[in-house]
Amino acid sequence: MNDNPDARPIVVGFDDSPQAHDALVLGTAIATATGDRLVLAGAYGPEHVVREEELDARRAQVLERLGEAADSLPSDLPLPIERRALPGSSAAAALQELAELEHPRALVLGSCHRGAIGRVLIGGVADSLLHGAPCPVVIAPRGLAGGGMVRLRSVCVGFDGGPEGWTALQRGAQIAAAAGGCLRVAMVVPPLTAIPTVAVYPPEIVEQRLKAAERELDHALRSVAKRVEPAGRLLRGHPAEQLAEEAAAGVDLMVVGSRGYGPLQRVLLGSVSTSLMHSAPCPVMVVPRTAEFDPSEEGLAGEDQVAASA
């Protein structure tokens, strides 16, 4: 049993659907890597709607379902597994309240049942939580559980040089280090915005942008612990499209930051993360922006307590 004193919950929203089992295998992989507690959480409805006896019956049913899910996992997992039956007006509200109280390392959910096999597609619960959750939200592609247990061998971070990108880099590197995996840092240089007075931008302007991006990417790579074998990819094109292509190239987890404005410590989807949440071919984590970030060159990312516990 893992005795990591810094363990925090990895919460899996579970309702016994096939998509919930996708979230279960992904959440288990993250918790196993980071040494955190695995918390299986299911909602059983608002407390004021039904009689107490019926409410107790609903709660017992949810706990039984969560117990069966826990029993389906390998018996030799080195981590504690908890079950939580949650009251609430909706599953999203119940999970949001749990996240507010316990500050989990991540909240893991399955994709919508209408999505394509092997692709991420957020449903109603995930959509609600991706607009205000106080912790990273991770979505598993539909059908992920069909491949058995998941290993996080390759983590890719979508990096843009801003505070949100640095926050995503730190979280992605922490997970890669804890999992014993490698880290890929993808930075996309988008096309210059056309303006009426400029038909074609001078080549030196284009070259300056590329060199500035190269410096920023190099800075990011030098900030990451070398044991995660950081590799940089400087790409050109539309960020969402380029990151989706990277996600398809053997990535086990794609990590991106939240939108650059909105409340601190809250997930808020931007255009790139929204696009990935509707089509990515691998699990996607969206990390809320924080009040502080430190783009140092002294091993900022991947050497904190999470990595040290691996």
Residue 207's identity, in one-letter code, is E
Position 96 scores a pLDDT of: 92
Mean pLDDT along residues 41-69: 84
- Copy the structure tokens of residue 236: 């050109």
Domains and CATH numbers, the chain: 9-147 (3.40.50.620), 154-308 (3.40.50.620)
Q: Torsion over CA of 211, 215, 220 and 223, rounded to 10 degrees?
A: 160
Instruction: Mention every residue, 6+ apart, whose C-beta is less than 8 A from residue 100.
Output: 134
> Given pLDDT bands bounded at 50, 70 and 90, which one contains residue 133?
confident
Mean pLDDT along residues 69-88: 90
Strand order in the sheet with 137-140: 81-87, 37-45, 9-13, 106-110, 137-140, 284-287, 253-257, 154-159, 182-189, 231-236
For residues 300 and 274, which has the higher predicted lDDT (pLDDT)?
Answer: 274
Q: Do strands 284-287 and 137-140 pair parallel, antiparallel, or not at all (unpaired)?
A: antiparallel
Position 148 scores a pLDDT of: 82
pLDDT higher than 80, residue 59? yes
The CB-side HSE value for 138 (13 A sphere, CA atoms) comes to 31
Position 299 scores a pLDDT of: 45
pLDDT higher than 70, residue 283? yes
| Degrees to nearest 5, angle at CA 36 with 32 and 37 | 100
> Given pLDDT bands bounded at 50, 70 and 90, which one contains residue 138?
very high
Instruction: Mention every residue, 6+ apart, whose C-beta is less than 8 A from residue 90.
Output: 43, 125, 128
Q: Which of 39-43, 67-71, 111-115 has the lowest mean pLDDT?
A: 111-115
Position 197 scores a pLDDT of: 57
Q: Report CA Rg, the chain.
A: 20
Segment (H or E) for 255 = strand 253-257
Position 39 scores a pLDDT of: 96
Mean pLDDT along residues 27-34: 94
Mind listing the pLDDT tens digit for each residue in 171-201?
Answer: 999 999 999 999 999 999 987 765 565 556 6
Residue among 305, 296, 303, 176 nearest 228 (CA) = 176
| Alpha-carbon separation of residue 11 from 41, 81, 247, 271 (angstroms) | 7, 10, 24, 26
Q: Which residues pair with 189 in a beta bridge?
A: 236
Distance between alpha carbon 117 and the CA centroid of its chain, in Å?
A: 19
pLDDT higher than 60, residue 294? no
Mind listing the pLDDT tens digit for each residue in 197-244?
Answer: 555 667 777 788 899 999 999 999 988 888 888 999 999 999 999 999
Q: Which of 32-46, 67-81, 285-299 has the lowest mean pLDDT?
A: 285-299
Distance CA 184, CA 255 (A): 10
Q: Please tell me whether residue 163 adopts helix, strand or coil conformation.
A: helix
Position 304 scores a pLDDT of: 44
pLDDT higher than 60, residue 269? yes
Segment (H or E) for 205 = helix 203-222
Q: Which residues pair with 286 in a beta bridge?
A: 137, 256
Position 309 scores a pLDDT of: 37
Distance CA 78, CA 107 (A): 20
Distance CA 260, CA 149 (A): 34
Distance CA 184, CA 218 (A): 12
**Residue with the two structure tokens 């030098």:** 222
Mean pLDDT along residues 39-63: 82
Mind listing the pLDDT tens digit for each residue in 155-169?
Answer: 999 999 888 889 899
Mean pLDDT of the chain: 84
For residues 97 and 263, which has the higher predicted lDDT (pLDDT)?
Answer: 97
